[in-house]
Structure 1
Amino acid sequence: MGKNQHVTPNSNGTWNVKGEGNSKATAIFDTQKKAIDRATKISINQQSELIIHDRKGKIRERNSYGNDPHPPKG
């Protein structure tokens, strides 16, 4: 299982894709949608979790692409 990926805002209006625990962004995008698209691909490839933050930095969404501890029943 790889590092969880975070989509976070920058003060200049751009969006980071950043692996959890990394000091530098993996990529920087001008829109949140582009950042989410890239982070989703990385999360799927690494079987990790995607955490999307809003403009204020608060977590607004989480998606698991790896070992989901709570798989759906049935």
Structure 2
Amino acid sequence: MTKKTSSNKGNTRHVVPHPEGWANKKGGSERASSVHNTKREAEVAAREQSKREGSELFVHGKDGQIQRKDSHGNDPRDIKG
């Protein structure tokens, strides 16, 4: 019997390059939630949505590589340090 695991792609938000500027996209989605002229504008919009959704935020560079991550979800409380 195989164990069914759910993907958390839908619980992420991404700022990615777009032909018309920068896109704010939900993980696993084909279409952008919003498109902005600057990366900063897209990041502000994505951060607001990520906070409302309690999701992870990934900010990508022009090359598609992840530059920064931010968690707006359920972080464990027992982290040392």
Shorter-chain TM-score bucket reads 0.7 to 0.9
Runs of 5+ unmatched residues, structure 1: none
User: Which aligned runs of 4 or more in structure 1 are off by greater than 6 angstroms?
Assistant: none
Runs of 5+ unmatched residues, structure 2: 1-7
* Cα shift readout 1:8-38 (whole Å, capped 9, x = no counterpart): 00245x0000000111000000000000000
Deviation at 1:72, TM superposition (A): 3.8
Q: Report how many residues are paired.
A: 73
User: Within 5 Å, which residues of 2 pair with 1:1-74?
Assistant: 3-12=11-20, 14-69=21-76, 72-73=79-80
- Which structure has the larger Rg over C-alpha atoms? 2
Q: What is the TM-score normalised by the length of structure 2?
A: 0.79
Question: What is the RMSD of the two structures over their aligned residues, measured on CA atoms?
Answer: 2.2
With a CA cutoff of 8 Å and minimum separation of 6, indicate the structure with the bigger relative contact order.
1
